[in-house]
Amino acid sequence: MTESFPVLLGVMAAAAFLCRVAGFTLMRFVPVTPRVEAALRATPLAVMAGITALAVQAGGWAEGLALASVVGLTLLLRSDVAAALLGVAVVAALRWGGL
C-alpha cells in the first residue's frame, strides 16, 4: 500500500457517501403505491428484528435475557429508550455475575 492517508480516506469516504445517497436517489424514481408503502413501512421492523436476532445468536444467556427484558420493559414502561438503557445495565450485571 503506497497511497497516502488522505487518498485512502477519500476513497473510503466516497464509498460510505455513495451508500448513504444511492438508495435515496433511486427511490425518487419509484412511484410509492400502497404496496410499496407497505414494504417501506415493514423495512425498519424487519431490520430491527434482524439486529436483535443476530445479537441473541452471537451472545449467550446474558445477551438473550437482556434483550428479552428490553422487550418486556418496553411494554411495561412504555418507553423504549428507558428499556434499552436498562437492558444494557442488565447485560452488564449478568456478565459481571459470570453468566
Q: Least distance in Å: CB of 75 to other proteins?
A: 6
Q: Could you say whether residue 4 binds other proteins (CB under 8 A)?
A: no
Whether residue 55 contacts residue 63, with contact meaning beta carbons closer than 8 Å, is answered with yes
- Contact positions with other proteins (CB under 8 A) in 23-42: 23-28, 30-42
Contact 94, 66 (CB under 8 A): yes
Residue 67: count other Cβ atoms within 10 Å of its Cβ. 20
User: Contact, 39 vs 27, CB < 8 A?
Assistant: no
Under the binding rule (CB under 8 A), the answer on residue 53 touching other proteins is yes
Q: Minimum distance between the CB of residue 69 and other proteins, rounded to whole angstroms?
A: 9
- Cβ 48 to other proteins, closest distance in Å? 4
60 touches other proteins by CB under 8 A:
no
- 65 lines the binding site for other proteins (CB under 8 A): no
Nearest to 67 by CA among 41, 42, 49: 49
